[in-house]
Amino acid sequence: MARVLVTGGAGFLGAAIVKRLAERGDEVIALDNFQAGDPANLRGLGSNVVLISGDVTDLSGLLNVIRQHDVKRIVHAAAIVSVVSSLSAPSHVTRVNIEGTLNVLEAMRLFNVERAVHISSEETYGAFRYEPADEEHPVAPTAPYGISKVASEQLGRFYRRVYKTDFINARLSWVYGPGFPRQRIPRTLIEAALAGRPLHLPRGGDARIDHTYLDDCVEGILLALDHASHPFDVYNLASGEGRTIAEMVALVKELIPGADLSVGPGPYWYDDRLIAPPKGALDITRARTVLDYQPKYDLRRGLAAYIEWYCRSQP
């Protein structure tokens, strides 16, 4: 049993991680400022979960939480998420994401926290220069969100070198699954199909992305949190497969018969201002070899599980 702080613990990934940690008997402190997260995501959990309203940009508040609860490990999931948010509010995104991470690192140093797993992103790579992209792929992010993740990772390396802080970066790709909070594929496709609403995306069908099901990400993050000794400070945690948005649309149509969905060709646009750079599969060999990470959901199985969740929770 460990005492684990999950920052952003009321969010999509944070709450799923809190749930898994609590189920296996860890003492969990979920900290969130509810900017996007919802306390309802943690409803019904046992007495080994404490939910705290707090902000990762408030260093003294964070230090108090870590001291009072004698935190041993951290999953750092609090962030302003997505490329699109970072176009609209670049200074807010960089402040929360970079300063928040710096505060986590300071807290680790001051209170000898054993380890943190920071949820980073494949947005660090920018346009893929080769594929599958492994962890040695050059980092060249194209928007403030990815830039904030690279800066966070680098701060972690500084603390590791100078203070021996055990700060591990899990680079996730596009995660999907129950409770996904933003209007993005495949959520938009599934909701339209289940409501019997036509949805015709004008462009983006040729974009290839590594879509990763929530449970696989959570599994990988827990493996990274638990691993005895890390030979690396960064791991890709993804499905290992690059599938086009057109393929995703075809799969949703197959799984929801009668769905009136289509997508035009060409690259994906984050919004009207920014085109997504070419991407594809992430190389997950390192996580497979070192962490014994074995993703269980290919895109078809993940979409089927996500649709089943919709049918169960919103009949």
Ligand X SMILES: NC(=O)c1ccc[n+]([C@@H]2O[C@H](COP(=O)([O-])OP(=O)(O)OC[C@H]3O[C@@H](n4cnc5c(N)ncnc54)[C@H](O)[C@@H]3O)[C@@H](O)[C@H]2O)c1
Q: Figure out which of the listed residues 4, 5, 12, 128 binds ligand X, where binding follows CB under 6 A.
A: 12
Decide whether 61 or 262 has the Cβ nearer to ligand X: 61
Work out whether 78 is an interface residue with ligand X (CB under 6 A): yes
Segment interacting with ligand X (CB under 6 A) among 8-16, 200-208, 225-233, 254-262:
8-16
Q: Figure out which of the listed residues 172, 237, 238, 282 binds ligand X, where binding follows CB under 6 A.
A: 172
Instruction: For residues 238 and 255, give the distance between their C-alpha atoms in angstroms, rounded to a whole number.
Output: 23
Work out whether 219 is an interface residue with ligand X (CB under 6 A): no
Instruction: For residues 33 and 52, give the distance between their C-alpha atoms in angstroms, rounded to a whole number.
Output: 8
**HSE-up of 175 (CA within 13 Å, CB side)?**
30
Q: Figure out which of the listed residues 4, 6, 14, 303 binds ligand X, where binding follows CB under 6 A.
A: 14
Decide whether 121 or 244 has the Cβ nearer to ligand X: 121
Helix axes 100-111, 144-163, angle to 10 degrees: 20
Decide whether 98 or 259 has the Cβ nearer to ligand X: 98
Work out whether 142 is an interface residue with ligand X (CB under 6 A): no
Strands (E), 173-225: 174-176, 199-201, 208-209, 211-213
Decide whether 119 or 284 has the Cβ nearer to ligand X: 119
- To ligand X, the closest distance from the beta carbon of 8 in angstroms equals 3
Q: How many whole angstroms from its chain centre is CA 105?
A: 19
Work out whether 35 is an interface residue with ligand X (CB under 6 A): yes
Work out whether 77 is an interface residue with ligand X (CB under 6 A): yes
Phi/psi-derived region of residue 124, left when phi > 0, alpha when psi is between -120 and 50, beta in every other case: alpha
Q: Figure out which of the listed residues 18, 75, 96, 299 binds ligand X, where binding follows CB under 6 A.
A: 96
Q: Which of 251, 278, 254, 302 lies closest to 122 in space, CA to CA? A: 278
Decide whether 7 or 165 has the Cβ nearer to ligand X: 7
Work out whether 18 is an interface residue with ligand X (CB under 6 A): no
Decide whether 34 or 130 has the Cβ nearer to ligand X: 34
Q: Figure out which of the listed residues 11, 186, 240, 295 binds ligand X, where binding follows CB under 6 A.
A: 11
Q: Which of 2, 237, 232 lies closest to 113 in space, CA to CA? A: 2
Q: How many whole angstroms from its chain centre is CA 139?
A: 18
DSSP-derived 3-state class of residue 77: coil
Q: Which of 280, 26, 270 lies closest to 128 in space, CA to CA? A: 280
Residue partners of 11: CB distance under 8 A and separation at least 6:
32, 36, 37, 41, 77, 78, 81, 181
Work out whether 240 is an interface residue with ligand X (CB under 6 A): no
Q: Figure out which of the listed residues 4, 22, 51, 55 binds ligand X, where binding follows CB under 6 A.
A: 55
What residue ranges bind ligand X (CB under 6 A)? 7-8, 10-14, 32-37, 55-57, 77-81, 96, 100, 119, 121, 172, 174-175, 181
